[in-house]
Structure 1
Amino acid sequence: MATLKDVKTKIGAVKKTKQITKAMNMVAASRLRGAQTSMIGFRPYASKFAEVLGSISERGGSGAAPLLAIREKISKINIVLCTSDRGLCGGFNASLIGKAESFAKEKAASDIKVSFTNYGKKGRDWVRKSDFEIESEYIGVVGGKFGFNISVNAGKKLIDGFLSGEYDEVYVIYSEFVSSARQIPVIKQLLPIPPLEKIEKSEDETKQYLPEHICEPSPAELLNEMLPKNVYVQIYSALLETSTSEHAARMAAMNNATKACNDIIESLTLAYNKARQSAITSDLMDIVGGAEALKG
């Protein structure tokens, strides 16, 4: 049985851990507000950009720009994997890496060479341990403050690789922020830019984007300018979503850790009181026994 000193030491250690987890929870909550504000502010822009681009590309056709052209044979793809640099955020990174692993192995099983562009240390470390190749890595981005240039730098390299035939397809895997309690790993195709998504009209019919935009000069020339920017926008949006999801996941994980510390402290306190009561009872029995012996 543990001595009183051992139990008291454990209680003190758990209380210090609780202070750390509570502080990390508060920091994550503070950063979550800032990241969520940036993400919510960017979503309407990304949505409207896709709407305008969809209207123009619909009239221009799939052969209007090289970034719309679908390759006949897929032999090599690149996956942009967005993870965090730090842990202590529950299963956040594990779910993203699991999604990337299953997707990459599925492609590799079809004799497709898979390479990665990594945002975050956790994803990079996993790729290093696997059989896949790392084309580029960007550390210290997700979870902190970053600008649009971060997505432009990676986007230009991916576009150049696609146009030169180095990649036949490019995908991005990121965590979509749904709520503070729910973040979903998502796979999205970046290159070639996928066909225009349909908007649900009713159960039996669908309709395409309705806006008719006046194009000057021609739709093809506009697409050559706008399609690369669409890649940058999609990467930047994925980073904002992942950064917000990371803070939410860490806040939830630290909240659960704080609750676990409270449970452990309560359990150890009960054990401490029982041990203390047992020691006092033993001392009283010795005193009573001694007194009875003196009377005899």
Structure 2
Amino acid sequence: MSDSLANLRRKIGSAAELQSVVRTMKALAASSIGQYEQSVLSLSDYYRTVELALGVCFRQAAAASALPPEAREHAASGIVVFGSDQGLVGQFNDKVTEHALETLAELAGNTLVWAVGERVHARLTDAGITPVGLFGLPGSVQAITPLVWNILVHSERQQSLSALHLCYNQPLAGAGFAPVSQRLLPLDDAWRRRLADRAWPTRNLPEVIGNRSTTLRALIREYLFVSIFRACAESLAAENASRLAAMQRAEKNIDSLLETLNGSFHRLRQDSIDEELFDVITGFEALSKTPRGRR
């Protein structure tokens, strides 16, 4: 009986410690979601400025030859897949890997894959895809910028690369997420025309000064930077949302387990007390029935 009570005490203590860890991870995930979502919102104004500047360049007929080349036959296509470095995220890496495989199946010619996160790298490898590069995920908003520049540098080193795609999980309302893909290069014709037709917000019309080709390429690089930054931030927000949901499920299961263990402990403890009382009563009755001379 005492061994069973000791075992239950150990199980209750372990469950309580695990509950504390889960609550801490839950709080960290909830706070991380906010900072990454805020970083995405803060990009809106800068992204709008880059689009306005690109629209001006697209309206310049002389700048048309400076546009990046369209996808060529037998040219390589690159895809950057954002996942996670850590676990406890549910189906986060599985879903983005499945979506990446579907995207790769639609691409013609050679494909180069970069994985952002060790977990998604392992999923891609298990699926028969060998990534040409692996990037570690940033642990804060400030660390996203070096990662983005690193991705751009590695992609620009591939001279045969004519197309660039992103594949990542995008957060949804509540705690959900959905895998999405985005083509960054070659630039979408409809998107270019839409930017070129956009009216300038003030009466002071802009003019491209200097080398139009250099200006356009610099703006396209900024567009790539903002797009990759936003994809990374949204992926991190979705990762923490998935972890938050997983921790909430774990916390609920631990609460149920603790309730069961505590119930078993109290019942077993009560049985032990009842047995001790029964022994005392039995001994008292035995003594009461014994004649005085034999006591």
Q: Post-superposition shift, 1:252?
A: 3.2
1:120 aligns with 2:117: yes
Q: Which amino acid aligns with 1:8?
A: R
* Structure 2 equivalent of residue 224 of structure 1: 217
Sequence identity (%): 20
Judging changes above 3 Å, is the alpha-carbon distance between structure 1 residues 251 and 73 closer, same or farther for their aligned structure 2 residues?
same
Structure 1 unpaired stretches of 5+: 201-206
* Structure 1 equivalent of residue 293 of structure 2: none
Q: 1:76·1:114 contact (CA, 8 Å) conserved in 2?
A: yes
Q: Which amino acid aligns with 1:100?
A: A
* Structure 2 equivalent of residue 19 of structure 1: 20
Q: 1:84·1:142 contact (CA, 8 Å) conserved in 2?
A: no
1:279 aligns with 2:272: yes
Bigger CA radius of gyration: 2
Judging changes above 3 Å, is the alpha-carbon distance between structure 1 residues 143 and 182 closer, same or farther for their aligned structure 2 residues?
farther
Q: 1:39·1:244 contact (CA, 8 Å) conserved in 2?
A: no
Q: Post-superposition shift, 1:80?
A: 0.5
**Which structure's residues are more often helix, by fraction?**
2
Q: How many residues align?
A: 283
Q: Which amino acid aligns with 2:220?
A: L
SS at match of 2:89: coil
SS at match of 1:70: coil
Range that drifts further, 152-161 or 142-151: 142-151
Distance in 2 separating the partners of 1:168 and 1:199: 21
* Structure 2 equivalent of residue 191 of structure 1: 185
Structure 2 unpaired stretches of 5+: 291-295
Q: Post-superposition shift, 1:22?
A: 1.1
Distance in 1 separating the partners of 2:176 and 2:275: 53
- Please point out which of 121, 129, 132 is paired with 1:132: 129
SS at match of 1:132: coil
Q: Post-superposition shift, 1:171?
A: 0.5
TM-score relative to the length of structure 2: 0.80
* Structure 2 equivalent of residue 209 of structure 1: 198
Q: Which amino acid aligns with 1:173?
A: C
Judging changes above 3 Å, is the alpha-carbon distance between structure 1 residues 253 and 144 closer, same or farther for their aligned structure 2 residues?
farther
Q: Which amino acid aligns with 2:242?
A: A
Q: Post-superposition shift, 1:11?
A: 1.0
SS at match of 1:197: helix
Q: 1:46·1:237 contact (CA, 8 Å) conserved in 2?
A: no
Q: Post-superposition shift, 1:15?
A: 0.1
Q: Post-superposition shift, 1:146?
A: 1.0
TM-score relative to the length of structure 1: 0.79
Q: Post-superposition shift, 1:14?
A: 0.4
